Amino acid sequence: MADDRVRRRVVIRGRVQGVFFRDSIRQRAHARDVAGWVRNRVDGTVEAVFEGKPYDVEQLVRYAETGPPQAEVQSVDVRDEEPEGLTGFEIR
């Protein structure tokens, strides 16, 4: 079953802190049964790790490209990683 899981690390740049970006990602991850975490970084970016079925992870990556209405996303860097078998989703 682990073969059908993927993992993506994303770093989102722009006006992405203080606009409910982390919570909106957490809600969508729970709805799609995607594991991982999301956090604000000191450089003003938001970083997240998504682990789950390829389609569900891709939908979260696509959401990160726009974010919630108050956000102004300038760029999203996406990196493939090996799944670690994470469970649950948390805001760090």
- CATH number for the domain that contains residue 57: 3.30.70.100
Number of structural domains (the chain) is 1
Q: Are strands 35-40 and 89-91 parallel, antiparallel or unpaired?
A: parallel
Mean pLDDT of the region 39-59? 97
Q: Residue 60 sits in which domain range?
A: 2-91
Q: Going by C-beta distance under 8 Å and a sequence separation of 6 or more, which residues neighbour residue 38? A: 21, 22, 25, 26, 29, 46, 47, 48, 49, 89, 90, 91, 92
Q: Is 7 a catalytic residue?
A: no
Say if residue 62's pLDDT is above 60: yes
pTM above 0.75, yes or no: yes
Catalytic residue among 5, 8, 22, 26: 22
Which residue among 40, 62, 79, 92 is the active-site one?
A: 40
Task: For residues 78-86, give the mean pLDDT.
Answer: 96
Whether 40 is catalytic? yes
